[in-house]
Amino acid sequence: MKRERLVVVGNGMAGLKLLEELQAACPGRYAVTVIGAEPEPAYNRVLLSSLLAGEASDEDIRFRDRAWYGANGFRLLTGVPARAIDRDRRRVELRDGRVAPYDKLVLATGSEAIRLPLPGADLPQVLVFRDHGDAMKLKALARPGARAVVIGGGLLGLEAAYGLALLGCETTVVHLMDRLMERQLDAQGAATLRRALEAKGVRFRLGAQSRRVTGDTAVEGLELADGEVLPCDMLVMACGVRPNVALGRAAGLAVQRGLVVDDGLATSADGVFALGECAEHRGVVYGLVAPAYEQARALAARLAGDPAAAYAGSLLSTNLKVSGVSVFSAGAIEAEPGDDALLLSDPGHGCYRKLIVRDDRLTGAILVGEASDALWYLDLIARAAPLGPLRDDLAFGRSFGAAA
């Protein structure tokens, strides 16, 4: 029997996870073509700051080599962006003129970095920090004593700043909000993180708006809205990402913030699915790896023939090392009327812990500096079970909770 043709556009972490899940669920069922815009096979984007800082190599961040794709029957095309989707003829047209016919199509096109439309932003030393190529460009510019300014105090900005600081650059982070990682941390948690990063040599300008990039042929500085000019030799825009939906939008797929998908990860077009950072499910676009992996498992089961397989949404959580400092956040970050907020703070050791309890259930957790109990707290939030006797020792972690 002739195999169905499955085309996956996007060879990032979400696309690769789908391939791995398909290989486990229905090996050989589809003739699979994978189209990747980047020249490399899928790699661990989470480790780009380590690659920038020289703490990891290309080999360290690679998930699968090219031989793995071929050995599992996947045709891999890299360095060839998809140009258009021809829904009538059910094929994907590539920028180099080739076409990839499909019976089913999966869009895993991820996100693209936001570039602020500042005067002077077209200078060659103004970069973003999103992919392997960006990290290599930054590494080529970085040198001991070079001055770097990073716009953005979220995860990507802090990772870029830390990597540049480790390379010896005098690094300043400019952030529009009054605290770092404001979507994941409360004021005290953000202050704890800031102190830890300042101890590593990173400087900050919070509550600062960027006005323009100074310099004629090369970057000389960043002028802020209050007139202050931060001298720099390079400028990194790490102020957010947006879902990469251009391909789907041009093909007439329903788009809001992302490509709109149902619980089966199906888009508005017959036979076309989407997952990862380009997809919007129940009004939510997830910019994290864990939800993309959950979507990949559900979609693989659906493609393997399970009509009941569905994705119901993910609990938003962040569990990572931000510039070498452990940070975890899940659920609510601010207490509402009637909630209890349990706090533990040790500024001397750079540790902060905040737990939010509502109706005897854990609804939110923030950990900065020490996050070994993160998954335990995440499980308590996800299960929404009454805490009972755990409540008294909850702030002290799993070992105390187990004893209770």
* Amino acid at position 76, single letter: L
CA 321 from chain centre, in angstroms, equals 13
Please say whether the structural domain 126-237 has been given the CATH code 3.40.190.290: no
Enter the tokens of residue 320. 């990572």
Q: If you write DSSP's letter for every residue of 219-283 in order, what string do you get?
A: --EEEETTS-EEE-SEEEE-S-EEE--HHHHHTT--BSSSEEE-TT-B-SSTTEEE-GGGEEETT
For residue 229, give both structure tokens.
């000019």
**Helical segments of 111-216, H only:** 132-141, 155-166, 187-198
Question: What pLDDT is attached to residue 105?
Answer: 98
**Secondary-structure breakdown of the chain: helix, strand, coil percentages, each rounded to the nearest 5:** 30, 30, 40
Q: What is the reported pLDDT for 92? A: 98
pLDDT score recorded for residue 319: 80
d(CA 147, CA 156): 18
Q: How far apart are CA 264 and CA 316, in angstroms?
A: 20
pLDDT of residue 404: 47
pTM for this predicted structure: 0.93
Kindly report the CATH class assigned to 4-112+241-303: alpha beta
What CATH code would you report for 317-403? 3.30.390.30
From the number of C-beta atoms within 10 Å of its C-beta (0-12, 13-18, 19+), residue 218 rates as exposed
Q: pLDDT at position 188, please?
A: 97
Same fold? 4-112+241-303, 317-403: no
Q: Would you give per-residue pLDDT tens digits along the chain (404 residues)?
A: 689 999 999 999 999 999 999 999 999 999 999 999 999 999 999 899 899 988 999 999 999 999 999 999 999 999 999 999 999 999 999 999 999 999 999 999 999 999 999 999 999 999 999 999 999 999 999 999 999 999 999 989 999 999 999 999 999 999 999 999 999 999 999 999 999 999 999 999 999 999 999 999 999 999 999 999 999 999 999 999 999 999 999 999 999 999 999 999 999 999 999 999 999 999 999 988 999 999 999 999 999 999 999 999 998 888 877 777 899 999 999 999 999 999 999 998 999 999 999 999 999 999 999 999 999 999 999 999 999 999 999 999 987 655 44
Domain residue extents for the chain = 4-112+241-303, 126-237, 317-403
Q: State the DSSP string of 56-69.
A: S-HHHHBS--HHHH
Q: How far apart are CA 401 and CA 365, in angstroms?
A: 15
